Structures are given as structure tokens and as C-alpha cells.
Structure 1
Amino acid sequence: MYIERILRVTTSALALATVQPVYAQSGQVAGSQGSQNFPSSSPDEQVQEGGGDIIVTALRRKGTVQSTPLSISAMTGDSLAAMGATQLQDYFRQVPNLNVAQGVLGQNRVSVRGIGGIGEATTGLYFGEVPVTGPSGTVGDPGNNAPDLNLYDIERVEVIRGPQGTLYGGSSMAGTLRIIFNRPKLSKFEAGMEGQYATTQGGSDSYFAKAMVNVPVVDGVLGVRMSGYYEQRAGYIDNIRLGRKNINDMTAQGIRLLIGFEPGPDTNVTGTFIYQRSDADDAQGWFPSVGDLKTNTPVILPFNNRFKLYNLTGTHDFGGVTLTVSGAIYRYDVLRTLDFTPSVTAISYSPAACQGYYAQATPCSDAQYAAYNSYGLSQTPALGYQPGYLRTQTAEARLASDGDGWLQWTAGLFYERRRDYIDSHVTKAASDGSAPDPLQDISYRFIANRLRQLAGFAEVSVKPVEALTLTGGLRYYDYEKTTAGQALLGSVLTSSIVSPYTERTAKSNGWLVKLNASYEFSPRFMAYANAAQGFRPGGANNIPSLQGDLVTYAPDSLWNYEVGVKSRWFGDVLTANAALFQIDWQNIQVAARTSDGLFTFLANAGGARIRGAELELSAEPIKGLNLTAAVGYVRGKLTSDQVIASFQNASAGGKKGDPLGMAPWSVSASASYDWELTPELDGIVRADLTYSGKGRNGFNPADPYFTTQGDFATLNIRTGVQNKRLGAYLFVQNVGNVNGVASRVSTFGSTNMSFSIPPRTVGINVRLNY
């Protein structure tokens, strides 16, 4: 509570520092989206002269989008603000072949080029220098819990498509998403704020307040940058059974503190502290069988998470070689709740469960069945109550060459230690559907995970001739992952039995390879070819009564083969980047279910081949008019049956030749135009259009857990005025009021839980800078 009070006071105090805002230069975003306003870092940090190409560090050394021989998109913080993006769900559709499967609060599964699924993350997520992941939960699925920070006061987002295993490690088998924060400026005072209010059709209102201040403490030597935010997101889902409206509203509040220290011209040290708290009072999903944006769950399902990160990063330039050392500790606390009522109800009517209840070999008598049925129903409504936490330590040290000579190289070491824990209670809910205090447990177990990972990596680029660059990369990895647990209270109503403490360990080591060649036909046209390997760790299941040979599962891996071009045309008026790729994915980690359908576990089954393309266009045909378009296409199919050895109840159930479930198309386009209204006042209008193709979860439509989502288009528009003192904008999101289903989940007794984009939302946004 103390931190929350600090957040509110800090945000209000920072807002007072914006009495005399000034307008900052605007420019074109290269390699990605539209126009930008109120830049959050200096122009020499964001763009190069003569073309607005964004500087990126995707190769662990400074380059640009157009000079990096990879399929990469970059968006500045100003570009994200211009489209009204404050979290992952607000901008990922602008990036070709990037997908974020929406779930309950704190549950986001990030995938690139159709590579995604249960288990460890397939797309690496970095906050600055720190790789972050979520807790494993009861299923060993940290990839479904990607932390989602508010995107205020950031320098840029980089999305690197294709495996980045050599430089970024095991969880970057499909690509890497990097969020880079604005660093403290040591010789310049800055302050700013942003406020917004909006109303959502059929739902509640939403608003946020954000503020930032940058203070040089010792000119040129020591500086502090602090930002704070509070956001209330609208709810628009109603629970018709409990008579609760707009149950999916949520709040997020946070603070970010960066301290910059430069004791000399060649040394820089940055300390970072991040705190974010997110809370949702109830379920985020709805059921089509009940009605659009309606649910009838008999329980209240709150979700919340707390994220804290401490990072210290230092760099030193030895003259031609830069050393970077980074160490971080982060903590992620979560509370997840689930509706167990359908499961407990179904088991209450099961004759086989009745036998188990009385521990007898013969069927229950009528009297026994009636007594058992009455007991089972008396435990409803039932609630899954699952508090958990994650504690992680990471460290990395690397050396990288400077300049642009004939030889460029990067080499480093990486260490990670991760520990997470979750309590899994199934409790009878209180009379109003909430979690009782104290809990009235029907069953209880806990699961704990430990992971230790070591790696060494290197990439070397040589230029045998001026226009040709050849790159080779290697990474050696060694990990050990242990899963432990114990069931302390069992119940036939949850198909669980009391069991002793057990733990199992999975370990592996090996090499990852990357090969890349690029050729600059001219300063404005480059072609490249890339072959890269990716993997993600295996692990162990801790599921009641799971047969022994299915407890552990192995890593899965892939090869990505890619060709692409980076180009500029008509005197830099048009930028066009494109890529074609093929991915061969082996030993895929898949979700399977126990024979009673109550528990999900991980196993290895089958392989797949994915082919696709990406195209990004941006143009400024006349002064003030910026146009962008992006298209992603991906099509995959199984190259072998998804059959789990000795177990035929795999939920995937795919056969060789079956298509994978990813949405084949993602399309986006934007247009923005700004013009001078008066000598001191500019006008601006912007439109963003996105289309998400139809995707599906599973292979066989006859599977009771098979679902589909996607196949919708949305339009956002924004208009306003801005000058050297402020900006004020009106906006409409989801102009067509489309009920776009971003993702769906089916579980035992819960069919087609749907997560949608918000209905039409109209609002006003105001920004100030000083």
C-alpha cells in the first residue's frame, strides 16, 4: 500500500512540472509506423540524418533498421503515442507476423511467424538489457505470462523476426521483442505529462494520467529520470448470473526510475528500478453461448500481478571495443483464479467418481449415488485460487567491436537463475461467488520450479569486399530445470489424491548456429540471406497420476531459412523492406490432456514446416503526409503425425499435412497528415487500419477443445492540434464497433471463452512537454 500511495503522489507532483511545455521536433518513423510527435529522446539517438532511419541495437551493437540484415520492425515511443498505444495489445497488429494471444490479466503469449505454444516462451522479451518471463503456473507454461509494461516514456520497441538464439538465447527461437527505455539526460532538464479520458460503447469509462521528469543532478555526470502512471481501463463484459456489469475493467499503476552516471567520457552506468501493479476485479472473457460480451460464471474471478525489477548496466569504451555488463533481479507476484464449478458439477454426476468416493470396486447403490451427488453439488460453486510468484536473477557480460570496419564481432557470457512457486487451491466459493476467507479447500497442491542456465555466445562479421558482409554466430547453452510438488489434500471432485513430495529434473546442453550474408548493391538497396537455429528448454510435468514416461519432455528446436531486401526509392520518398522464409520445426512441445480432461500437461510430438513472407512500406510523398503499410503471411503444416508415444489422448490430435492454427494473414496500414493552421498551431489527422486473419486452436473441428478466432478488421482515427506548448487530440478506436475475438480458449466444462478487443471507444488526449 505504501508504494501505491507514492505512485499517486509522484504522478501528481510530476504533472505540476509541466507549466511551460515546449514543442519538440517531429519526424518520420522508419521501418515501421507513421508520424511521431513530442520525441522522447534526442534526435541523434533516434534517427540518422537524411532519411529518418531508426537506430537499433538488435545485433548488440549500434546499427539502423535499413543496415541490419534481418527482418526487423522498430517503433519509437512517439510513434506508439501517436497511435494511442499503451500496452502490447495496442500495437502488435501493426507489426507483420507478430501475434499476442490475449488472455486474462497478465496472460499474454507472444509469438512470431506462427511459432508459439505451451511451455517456455518462443519469443524473447527484453526490458532494456534484461530478458524477462512470467511464472510457470501449474502447467509449466511461463510463455503464457509475458509481463506487459505500460509504454510511457520509452525510446523505442524493436521486433526482430526469426530465431535470435545466438545473441538472445533459448526463448528467442521465433524472434525477440525488445523495449528500450529513455535514458537519463545528464545535462538537460525535461518534464512532461499526458492525460486521457474515454468512454467505451456499452461499457465503463477509462482514463489515465502519466508524468515524467528528468533532472541533471551533477551536470554531465549524474542524472535522474522518473516516470509514473495510473490507468483505468474500461470494462465491457457483463455477468448476467451475478448481475455484475463491466466486470473486466482493470487498473494499472507504476513507477520507473533510472539513474545515469558518467564518471568519464568512456564509462556509463545506468541503474533501473521498475514497479508495476495491475488489478482486475473479475473475469476478462465471455461465452458466445451466453451472448456477445456476456458471461454466466457463478464465481468472481479476480486477477492481479505485481512486477518489480532492479537492473544495473555499465558500459566502458576501451577504444574500438566496448564492454557491457548487466545484472538484474526481478520479482513477479501473481494471483490467478479459475471457475472450477463445471468440473466439480460434472464429476458430481459421475458414477465412476462415486465408486472412487466410497473406495469400492462395485458400482454405487442408488442411495450411495444420491448421497455422493448431494455432497458434490454442495461444494459448488467452486473456485480455483492460485497465488504464485517468480524470482529471477540474470547476468550478462559481453564485448563488442566499435565502428564499421572490415571486422565486427560480439562475444559474451550469460547466466540465469529462476525460481517460481504456485499454490493451487480448489475451494468452495462464498455465497456471493468470491473467494472465502479463510479458504474452504476441496483440494490443495503446490508446484515449485527451478531453472539454472549458462551460455556463451559469439558473432563475427567480415567484409571480404566493401559491399559484402558475411556473419557467423555460435551459442553454447547448458540448462537444468527442476519441477517439484506435492498434493496435501485430495478429492475425487477434482480427480486429485494425496501424494508425497516429488521432484524431477530435465537438463540439456548444445550449440546454436547462425549464418548470414548481405550485399549492398547501393547505399539504398541491400539483400541478405540468413540461416539460423533456435531452441527452447524442455522440462518436467507435475500432474496428479501422470504416467512415468510422460513426466519429462525434451527441448524443441527449429531452423529458419530466410532471404530479404532493404531498399529506398525515389530519393528516400519510399522505403520498402521484404522477406521470405521457411521454418522447419522439430519435436514440438504440445499440450495434451489427461484422460478425464481435467489436467493439461506438456509432451513432444511431431514436426512442422512453416513458410511465409513479410512486407513493410513507408512513404512521405508530400511534406507532412506519412503513409505506411505492412503485410504478414504465414502458412504452416505438420510434417509428421502429432502422436505422443504410449499416450493417445493428445489434445492436438494432428495428422501429417494438417495446417497449423496460426492466422495466415496480418495486414495494417496507416496515414497521417499534419499541416500548419497558423504560424504557431499545427493540425494533425491520423488513421490506422488493421486486419487479423482467421486462426484456430487445434486441428480437428470435432475435438471438443477446438476453437477459432480472428478474421476481423478495425479502424482507429485521431485528430487534433499541437503547437510549441501542448497537443490536444480527439480519437475514436474501433470505429466500426467490431466484436473482434482476439483469442479463444476451451477447457473442461468451459467452451469458447472469448477475449475481444474493446468496443468503439471515443476520447480526448492531452500532452504537455517542458
Structure 2
Amino acid sequence: MNTYCKTITLLLFCFLFCSQHTFAQEIIQGRVVDEHQIALPYVYITVKGTNTGTTTDFKGNFSLKLPNSDAVTLNVSSLGYKSQQVVIRAPGESVIITLQTDVSQLDDVLITANRKSQPSQKVAQSVSVITAKEIRRSGAKEFRDYASGIPNLSFGTQGGDGGGRLSNEISIRGISGFNTTAMYLNGAPLPENINPNLIDISRIEVLKGPQGTLYGSATMGGAIKLVSNQPDPSKVSGFMEGELAHVKEGDRDYNLQGLLNIPLTDKLAFRGSGYYNFQSGVYDRVVNQDIEWLNKDAILREDFYGDPEDYFGNPFAIETNACEGCTREDKENVDDKVHYGLNANLGFYPTDHLSFIATLIHQNLKGEGYDFAETDVDSFIQNSNTGLEESFKDKWTNYSLQAAFETSLGNFDASINFLDRDNFETEDASDINTYYWIAYENDPGVEPLESIWAATTHRNIETELFQQEIRFNSDLEGAFNFLAGIFYSSNKEYWDYKDNSKGLATYLLSDNVYYEGAYWGETEADYAFILNNNNLPWYTYEGDFKNTEFALFGQFYYELVQKLKFTLGLRYFHATSQMDIDENGADFGFVNQPYQRDFSEDGINPKFNLTYTIDKDKLLYATMARGFRKGDVNELLPLFVLEELEELDGEFVREYESDYLWNYELGLKSTWLDGKVIANIALFYNDWDNLQQYRLLPSGWGYTANVGSAHTAGLEIDFRSKLSKNFEFGFGLGLLDAVIDEGSLTLTASEGDKILNSPKVTANLHTTYNKVLNNHNNLYATANIQYVGERFGTYDLELEPELVFPDYALLNARVGYIFSNVDVSLFGRNLTNKQANFGNIQSFGAILPGRQRYATNRPISVGINMKYSF
């Protein structure tokens, strides 16, 4: 399959070079630009008094056949610009039309939701768009900075994708759980839990509803697309930016970043950017000064009761790691974090119709402690019995090559993408090991430990993701047009877990209080083997995974009658999965637990859409689309967790099945009052069968299983208005009802329960004031509020009240002054100092019962930002 796709890629690239671009000659040709001579795409051009019209392409060019050879008048209009009438006196005339900015109108933005550039107001689906200006003035640098408040988008952190700080389960319209929403960077799908920095991003598109036709199986809920700027061979440009802020509960944050765009020739340009971001920690680690570290000595010579003999009467001598790394010292701001990276882009434009963009993006995130709240999101104390350091590193590099070729019949686009990622984490596993194995009878919430076996657990995940896609967007005269493409991906992952609690198994077995018989061996020889092998791991896990997907996809557009267009989308996919898992250690009774599985799945995802264009400012659409997600396998649970699950009347399943849904949507995109008001509304209903849901157990372990069926229904509103030429106001609102229709004992979900991590209300409110002064300098002020309603992380609210996450509202504001290409601003983030509970973290080292870890936002931060642009 891989060889086949590469062959197709090569043939199409050859075609790109060999094809000739032709145009019809008996037409008016022209170009539309703004007052700065910048090309304006998707400008509407109509012949006055007729239904004849067209729009400019991405480079501002247009061609238009005239009804006769007489002089005609063209009406030229675009949102955000003053309309014009241009007289054309003869066919064949080439014109350049300049439109003037109209500050009394709102701006529109081009998006690629349908895999081609279109104004957002002309895309027949619900899309939330965040522009580069909004990203900058909100101060957003990563996903959580902009995600809260987007209508009907929420995110959880409790696992199902490996847990720990990797967790980032995005939910759109109540379609929650791992792998329901795809993250895209410049057209390439990335792991959902990756978190690209927003430097040099031109826009963010949040696509609502299933996107399976154009984007694949991991888009049941929708897709989030980050689109960066491209190299520009026409001019030198760039910026230098510095930021300094003070954060409550911590010290100072600072960020340095810059960008440079350099034309190398008139057809070749380089665009590079880089950043270094330091975030002060806000949590303080307080170490228990009284607890005894059982493994503080390199050799232990007595058991639980002080007897210098093991269970068989042999001399007792256990090798340990001597509590390496243990400390009694407290530490402030334990969660200091550094994030740095670079983007390098090379753009080659050999002709006006052919382009190549090569991109390298490298990012590195690391910290010496975790930014999690313990037990209470308003607490900034992390308690430790050992003082052991916890740390994380997430390093990735993404390579991509994109090619685009325009012909008279349409446009070819091809892309190749490769991601190389390495994630490494260390957690303190001392408490969980001691509670469950040394002091199992103690109640963690009532009886404090007097002694502990100190140890850390480690996790390393290596990812290699290769993808390629080729597609053709037609531009045919007449009622019919289409998009067709081919896609291939290969994802390889290696997971390596280790808990090197040296000597702990021998220490427990020497007394033989809890673990007689078959669990750790049936004969004296079995015991002797373990007692004489102190290096046997407490827990190890190795997993090799490979997933491939091949797809053929297309969307076919047909204008049934004037203004009414029908769209049919189809995607055929063939997916394969291979996994080889080996678990071993004391947690599993020193018995290897290998697991191998190969399986494949194929199917077709359809989409149907009707779009009625009421006029150039309004369109009505109705959509029916199918979403799909592949099944997978759970990691094996330790025996003591299975016993816990049995007490909770749950049922563990090793494998869970695929799930799918049908989405029904009705929407209106509209512009009013000569571009001063934009009002979009969407109503939707999802019928979801066999849905995959994750259950987090009190021990901190968890598993995914299928629930019978569910539905989600709701409303989305996007409203923006230009109250005056200086003042803009807007809001977004999402209302959601997400309910289980048929429950399952595997998850203790019952009919009528709310789907996990699905708030009833999500909303945002934003205002901007921009004043151009007499000296042409700018004064601006902006503020935004993000609101997310109450969410549930459990189906058993009475048993697990700590997994009910309250609603929250976050307020950010900025005031700035622009002069001589310098932008100086003062900003405040989280001005009400609200600690939002994003969700509980499924620590990969497991969680202590009654001692949850929560992901939250940062406390109030105030600072200054200075940016010089050229």
C-alpha cells in the first residue's frame, strides 16, 4: 500500500511539471487589490442588471465572460471594504480594481474547512475561527489558552490516551473520549494530545460535527486546524517580541520570540521563527519530615517484625536503591517550565501557478515538576513523603512538504508529512505502592503512613507518524464540480514503562503475610528465586504499536437549480492495527502477560449537504454526515485493581469495539446592515451508537468500554457586530444536551446519565476598541470572557463527588499603543484569579484514593509586552 501511494505521488508530481496552464481568451481579466496593493481573494464581482458573476481567486485574479460586447458595469464588493462600480467598455480589457478598507464593516477571513480557500461566511457548516490578531491580543500561546469558551467545545484530562500530562481529550458537541477530535497543523493530522505553540499562526479553525469525508476516522466530533503563514518572496518582513509578567503564587514569566521573512530571489523565500518561553512554577512542594524511608539503606537486614530471617529461615539481606534522590527539603515553584522551538519554511514559486512549501517545526517542552493541584484546585501545596523529583520532557519535530498547482480545470494539492516525537516522564510512585502493598489495610484519608518505600516510575513514548495526501479541486464551468483525493498514513509507537522499586518485591515476600500460594509462586523454589533476585522489576511494560490507514475520498457538488447546491461526500477507508504488549512484575505476580493482536477494518463514511444561497450575504444549509472511530485494546489491570473493580460492580473488558454516529445539522450564515453585523446559527442532533467511554477507578487505573447508545443535541450561535468604526462586540454561545440512552454495566452508565465532560453551556464574550489617532498611531483595548459549564468525570456522582467539575469563567484583557511599527501593551490574564477545574489527571503511576490530581489554569498574571514589526 505504501509503495502504491508513493508511486501515485511521483506520477502526479510529474504531471504538475508537465501540465500547461491555459485560459479562455474572450473574457475580461483583472485583479483586485487593497490600498496597499495586496491581493484580495474571494471578492464578489457581478455584472449589473444580470445574474452573471464570479469571485477572485486566492491571488486576487478573476476572469468573467460578458453577455455581449457592449459596455457593462461591474459591481465589486467584499466584506470589510467599500463597494465599487467599475465600467468596462470592451471585452478583452484587463483591469486592476482597488478597494478601500471600510472600518465601519467587520472583516471576514479565508478558511480551508472544505480543503480549499473560502470566506468563512460562505462555508456551509459551523466553524469557529480565531484570527492572528485575536490570538495575539488574547495572549494565547497554546491549546488551553484559546479552547475554553468556544461554543460546544470542552476538554478533559483524565486519560484514555495514556494518562498523565499527555491527556488532552477534546470534546465537541458532547462527542467525548479519546480520538474523537483531530488536531491538524497545516493540513497534516497530529496526535490529539500534541500542543503546538501559536507563533506565526495565521488562524485557528474549529470545525464542528463529523469531518470523516475530508479528514478521516478521528473526527467524529470535529477537527481543530492550525494554519501558519507562508513564505513571501515579495518583501522582507518580520518582528521581534518580548514579554514579562508576574504570576500570583509564583515569580516571573518571560517570553522572547521573533520572525524573519527574507526573499532569496523573486521566486524563492525563507521564513523562520523561534521562541523561548519560561513559565514560573506556582506550586510548592512540602515534604513530610517524620515518615521513615524503609529503603534508606543500601542493604536491609530485617523484615516487618525485626526478624533477621526471611520466610524460609535464611539470612535476611535485601538490596535497595538507598532511596536515591530522596530529600527532606521543601521546594518552592516546583513546576517551573521551559518551552522553546523554531519554525523554518522555504517557499519556492517557479511560476504563478506552481508552489512548493517545505517546513520544519521543532518544539521542546520540559519541566522539573508537575503543574497539578492536589485534592483542591485552589491549593498550591503539593505534599510529598519522599521529596523525589517528578519531571517531564516532550520533544517533537515535524517535517512537511506541500505542493500546489493551478490549471484551467482546477487545482492539485499534494502533501507529505513526518512527525518524530519523544516523550519522557518520571513520577513518584512511592505512595501508591506503599498504600496498596505495604499498608493495604490503612485508609489513606484517615490513617497516615508511618513508613514508605520510596521509588519513581518512568514512562517513555516514541512516535513516528508518516502521512501523505494528494487531492484535486475542480474549477469547471457549469453546474458540476468535485474534489477527489487519496490519503495514506502509518503511525508507529513504542511505549516503555518501568517502576524500578528495587528490592520491594523481596521485602514484601520475606514476611509472606499477604501473598501466599499461586499469586507469587507455589513452591519453595519459586519463593527462593524471587528472594535471591533483588533486581526483578516491580513493574515493566513494553508495547509496540503500528496503525495504518488508506483512504479514497471525494466531495461532489451539483447546482440543482440557481442558488441551490447539493453536495455528496464519500470516504472509503481501510485501516490496520498491530500491537505487541508485554507486561511483567510484582504487580502481575511475576507472570509475563503478553498480548498480541492484528486486525483490520474498512468502511465508507458518507456526507449529504444542501445549501441555498439566499443572497450574497446569507446562506442556509442542511447536512447529514456519518462519523466513525476505530476500536482498540485496554492495558491489563493488576489483580488488586480487578478486585477493586469487582467490589464496584464493574466489568473489565480487554478489547472495545468501534463506535459511530449520524449527525443532523441545520444552519444559517448571514451578514446584515452592510457588513456591520454577522449572525450565524446552527442546530444539530447526533445519534451515537456503541460509544466508547473511559472509566477512571479510585485507584487511579482505568479502562475504556462501550456504552449502548447516546444522543447529543444543541445550538450554536456566533454573533459579531461593529457598533461604530472604533468599537466591535461579539459573543459565542453553545447549548448542549448530551445523554446516555442505553447504559452498560462495564461503565456503570445508566439511561439518562450525562455523557462525560460535556457541559450544558459554553460561551464567550469579546469586545475590542481601536482608535486611529491624528498622528496615525493606534490605541486599542480588548477584553474577553470564556465560560464553561459544569462537567462530570464519572457516572456515579454520589460515590465519586470529586469527579464533578464546577463551571468557571475566565477574564483576560489587554490595552496597547502602536507607533512607528512598535506595539506596546499591558495585559492581564485570569483577572478574577479563578482556578478552573479542567479535570482530574490519570497519573500513569496511579492515583492515591482520596488524593486526586487536577489540571487547572494559571493564577492571575499581569505584565507588559513589546513587539517591533518591520
TM-score normalised to the size of structure 2? Answer: 0.74
From 289, 296, 305, give the equivalent of 2:394.
305
In the aligned structure 1, how far is the partner of 2:660 from the partner of 2:377?
41
Q: Indicate the SS of the match to 1:95.
A: coil
Segments of 5+ residues of structure 2 without an aligned counterpart are: 1-34, 43-57, 62-77, 83-105, 159-163, 288-328, 443-448, 504-533, 643-650
| Partners of 2:243 and 2:863 within 8 A in 1 | yes
In the aligned structure 1, how far is the partner of 2:661 from the partner of 2:284?
43
In the aligned structure 1, how far is the partner of 2:370 from the partner of 2:540?
22
In the aligned structure 2, how far is the partner of 1:290 from the partner of 1:417?
39
* Deviations 1:342-366, CA, capped at 9 Å, x for gaps: 331222246799xxxxxxxxxxxxx
From 273, 277, 286, give the equivalent of 1:231.
277
From 502, 508, 530, give the equivalent of 2:601.
508
Amino acid at match of 2:857: I
From 669, 679, 682, give the equivalent of 2:778.
682
In the aligned structure 1, how far is the partner of 2:133 from the partner of 2:471?
30
* Alignment match, 1:573: 676
| Partners of 2:377 and 2:835 within 8 A in 1 | no
From 162, 177, 190, give the equivalent of 1:132.
190
Amino acid at match of 2:469: E
* Alignment match, 2:221: 174
* Alignment match, 1:413: 486
- Return the offset for 1:514: 0.5
Amino acid at match of 2:467: T
1:425-440 pair list within 5 angstroms: 425-428=498-501
- Return the offset for 1:572: 1.3
1:65-104 pair list within 5 angstroms: 65-101=120-156
From 744, 762, 767, give the equivalent of 2:862.
762
- Return the offset for 1:178: 0.6
In the aligned structure 1, how far is the partner of 2:552 from the partner of 2:739?
34
In the aligned structure 1, how far is the partner of 2:859 from the partner of 2:139?
15
| Partners of 1:381 and 1:429 within 8 A in 2 | no
* Alignment match, 1:114: 174
| Partners of 2:426 and 2:456 within 8 A in 1 | yes
* Alignment match, 1:435: none
In the aligned structure 2, how far is the partner of 1:439 from the partner of 1:591?
34
Q: 1:558 to 1:188 in 2, by over 3 A?
A: same
Q: 1:187 to 1:603 in 2, by over 3 A?
A: same
Q: 1:727 to 1:592 in 2, by over 3 A?
A: closer
* Alignment match, 1:255: 342
In the aligned structure 2, how far is the partner of 1:125 from the partner of 1:593?
24
Q: Indicate the SS of the match to 2:742.
A: coil
* Deviations 1:622-675, CA, capped at 9 Å, x for gaps: 11111110111111110101233xxxxxxx311011122311111111111111
Q: 1:52 to 1:407 in 2, by over 3 A?
A: farther
- Return the offset for 1:472: 0.8
* Alignment match, 1:656: 751
* Alignment match, 2:373: 286
Q: 1:606 to 1:475 in 2, by over 3 A?
A: same
In the aligned structure 2, how far is the partner of 1:599 from the partner of 1:743?
15
* Deviations 1:579-610, CA, capped at 9 Å, x for gaps: 1111111111123478x956433322221111
* Alignment match, 1:211: 258
- Return the offset for 1:49: 4.4
Q: Indicate the SS of the match to 1:428.
A: coil
| Partners of 1:393 and 1:416 within 8 A in 2 | yes
Q: 1:85 to 1:385 in 2, by over 3 A?
A: same
| Partners of 1:556 and 1:589 within 8 A in 2 | yes
In the aligned structure 1, how far is the partner of 2:560 from the partner of 2:683?
26
* Alignment match, 2:300: none
| Partners of 2:176 and 2:693 within 8 A in 1 | no
In the aligned structure 2, how far is the partner of 1:707 from the partner of 1:197?
35
* Deviations 1:269-289, CA, capped at 9 Å, x for gaps: 111101000012111211236
- Return the offset for 1:516: 0.8
In the aligned structure 2, how far is the partner of 1:246 from the partner of 1:476?
51
Amino acid at match of 2:861: T
In the aligned structure 2, how far is the partner of 1:350 from the partner of 1:236?
32
Q: 1:639 to 1:340 in 2, by over 3 A?
A: same
Q: Indicate the SS of the match to 1:347.
A: helix
- Return the offset for 1:379: 6.7
In the aligned structure 1, how far is the partner of 2:828 from the partner of 2:210?
37
* Alignment match, 1:359: none
In the aligned structure 2, how far is the partner of 1:481 from the partner of 1:379?
41
* Alignment match, 1:585: 688
In the aligned structure 1, how far is the partner of 2:383 from the partner of 2:536?
23
* Alignment match, 2:315: none
Structure 1 window deviating more from structure 2 (224-233 vs 713-722): it is: 713-722
| Partners of 1:88 and 1:148 within 8 A in 2 | yes
Structure 1 window deviating more from structure 2 (62-71 vs 668-677): it is: 668-677
* Alignment match, 1:606: 708
- Return the offset for 1:384: 2.0
Greater CA radius of gyration, 1 or 2? 2
Query: Is residue 570 of structure 2 the alignment partner of residue 474 of structure 1?
Result: yes
* Deviations 1:721-745, CA, capped at 9 Å, x for gaps: 1123211000111111112222224
From 370, 388, 393, give the equivalent of 2:466.
393
Amino acid at match of 2:122: S
* Alignment match, 1:199: 246
In the aligned structure 1, how far is the partner of 2:721 from the partner of 2:138?
17
Amino acid at match of 2:169: R
Structure 1 window deviating more from structure 2 (597-606 vs 108-117): it is: 597-606
| Partners of 1:290 and 1:296 within 8 A in 2 | no
In the aligned structure 1, how far is the partner of 2:558 from the partner of 2:279?
50
Q: Size of the alignment, in residue pairs? A: 680
| Partners of 1:348 and 1:377 within 8 A in 2 | no
* Alignment match, 2:293: none
Q: Indicate the SS of the match to 1:163.
A: coil
| Partners of 1:448 and 1:484 within 8 A in 2 | yes
Query: Is residue 647 of structure 2 the alignment partner of residue 557 of structure 1?
Result: no
Q: Indicate the SS of the match to 1:343.
A: helix
- Return the offset for 1:706: 5.5
| Partners of 1:606 and 1:643 within 8 A in 2 | no
| Partners of 1:680 and 1:724 within 8 A in 2 | no
| Partners of 2:536 and 2:585 within 8 A in 1 | no
In the aligned structure 1, how far is the partner of 2:283 from the partner of 2:242?
25
In the aligned structure 2, how far is the partner of 1:290 from the partner of 1:577?
36
- Return the offset for 1:101: 3.0
Segments of 5+ residues of structure 1 without an aligned counterpart are: 1-22, 31-41, 134-142, 354-375, 431-437, 645-651
Q: Indicate the SS of the match to 2:744.
A: coil
Structure 1 window deviating more from structure 2 (599-608 vs 728-737): it is: 599-608
When the two chains are superposed, the root-mean-square deviation of aligned CA atoms in Å is 2.9
1:608-687 pair list within 5 angstroms: 608-644=710-746, 652-661=747-756, 662-687=758-783
From 728, 732, 738, give the equivalent of 2:834.
738
In the aligned structure 2, how far is the partner of 1:244 from the partner of 1:510?
54
Q: 1:758 to 1:352 in 2, by over 3 A?
A: closer
| Partners of 2:176 and 2:755 within 8 A in 1 | no
Query: Is residue 107 of structure 2 the alignment partner of residue 52 of structure 1?
Result: yes
- Return the offset for 1:439: 10
| Partners of 2:546 and 2:577 within 8 A in 1 | yes
Q: 1:328 to 1:262 in 2, by over 3 A?
A: same
TM-score normalised to the size of structure 1? Answer: 0.83
- Return the offset for 1:322: 1.1
* Deviations 1:686-705, CA, capped at 9 Å, x for gaps: 11112111111011123348
| Partners of 1:483 and 1:542 within 8 A in 2 | no
| Identity of matched residues, % | 25
